[in-house]
Chains A and B, each alone.
Chain A
């Protein structure tokens, strides 16, 4: 335990924590998307899936127990991910107190890598809206929210064009974030073995494209009336 805490004091350690928490969050968004695809199977199947999420581990766990465990773990991962990014950014700003008069010309840094920090801010804002929209059902975000019917909430939520537009922007930000983030996390953990070297970039690109397209397709399917 103490070695983990002392690890977090170092910048490389913080990057490792950022990488591991990032992997956890990537795993979550992939699972989240896969589960949400049940929307294409209709109201009954989708609501049954939503109910099942609350019944995982039953009867050992109380109703919604597994869901709360997952929420706490995810919240922990999000906080560590943001805190490490925040403190490393501050340390890096301090490393060059006097700016270059002639701006640095980027040589090979990708657009994705240069937008990690602000992209992260967009994703945080999106997650907050997403929770207000579909979990808390706040009326400004979702006027017709019904806590008992997840399917209707999604269908009515995605009938609003500006909402779908915001979701698409957020999914593009997420895709860019993961394109750099997934590859970068492997780098931060020192997983650059020759056996995996050739698929690090393609894997990051695949995950990024799959998530962006998958989530966007879901929202657009509802907006165009193909679902619901």
Chain B
């Protein structure tokens, strides 16, 4: 395949940055998007140029490290897929591909396509956990969980924290991520003691960094794990309830 990449290059946070075009020949349709960038980087390195910096880790869609904007869509055109699992066969020969970093006030650009997503960690630190005595492991079925609750908690727990929801949201909101984390624990018996304080604390940190929700549902459309905006409704409920406790 022949492609033209226009990749955002930026030396560091202070640099203005801009697109640089890289015409590509012989791109294998079986490569993942990141492998395609790897090949480009090898060539850049051999030519003595700076390789394109991008985040990646597991490359099997479960770690949440990768993520770039591909032609105006977080993680690119294939729904339900992280950038690492997007394959070049999803593009057509001769395509022009514009690659930009996730943009948000909360995600400052470190270099090229790499952004600092630590505000998502701060939201977790504010309440995305349960406080328990870490003695010996309890018996497996000591705490029965209705199947429906377990399924819903699992659906929310699928969130890999990649930040695509923030990147795609016209408001730059971090609602889908926070909602998934709050709902996940609110569905399970272990999450009950800190349910209200968790919702309140996590929302407070979220709102200090991100925009607000207009229920566009763009986040749901690009989420590599297909997290439903139903969880945003649940977060709203959990938060409003916590305010009247």
Residues of A bordering B, CB below 8 Å:
3, 6-7, 10-16, 88, 91-109, 113-114, 116, 180, 183-184, 186-192, 197
**Which residue of A96, A109, A113, A116 is within 8 Å of B211 (Cβ)?**
A96
Among A98, A103, A114, max chain B CB count under 10 A is at A98
Q: Which residues of B contact A114 (CB under 8 A)?
A: 170, 216
CB-based contact B73/A107 at 8 Å = yes
Of the listed stretches B47-55, B84-92, B129-137, B226-234, chain A binds B226-234
Interface flags for B144-175 (1: CB within 8 Å of A; 0: not) read 00000000000000000000000010111100
Given A12-B203, A104-B170, A109-B217, the answer on whether A190 and B71 have CB atoms closer than 8 Å is: no
CB-based contact B212/A108 at 8 Å = no
Residues of B bordering A, CB below 8 Å:
8, 19, 69, 71-73, 98, 100, 103-106, 168, 170-173, 203-204, 207, 209-218, 220-222, 229-230, 232-240, 243-244
CB-based contact A104/B214 at 8 Å = no
CB-based contact A100/B72 at 8 Å = yes
| A96–B210 alpha-carbon span in the complex (Å) | 8
Q: Which residues of B contact A95 (CB under 8 A)?
A: 104-106, 171-173, 209-211
Extra contacts besides A12-B203, A95-B171, A96-B103 (7): CB < 8 Å: A13-B243, A15-B213, A96-B171, A187-B236, A188-B213, A190-B234, A190-B236
| A135–B214 alpha-carbon span in the complex (Å) | 33
Q: Which residues of A contact B211 (CB under 8 A)?
A: 91-96
List 5 interface pairs A-B (beta carbons < 8 Å), by A numbering: A10-B203, A92-B212, A95-B172, A96-B105, A102-B100
Q: Which residues of B contact A188 (CB under 8 A)?
A: 213, 215, 233, 236
> Which 5 residue pairs spanning A and B have beta carbons closest together?
A190-B237, A95-B172, A95-B211, A92-B211, A107-B221
| A107–B8 alpha-carbon span in the complex (Å) | 22
**Which residue of A94, A99, A113, A186 is within 8 Å of B214 (Cβ)?**
A113
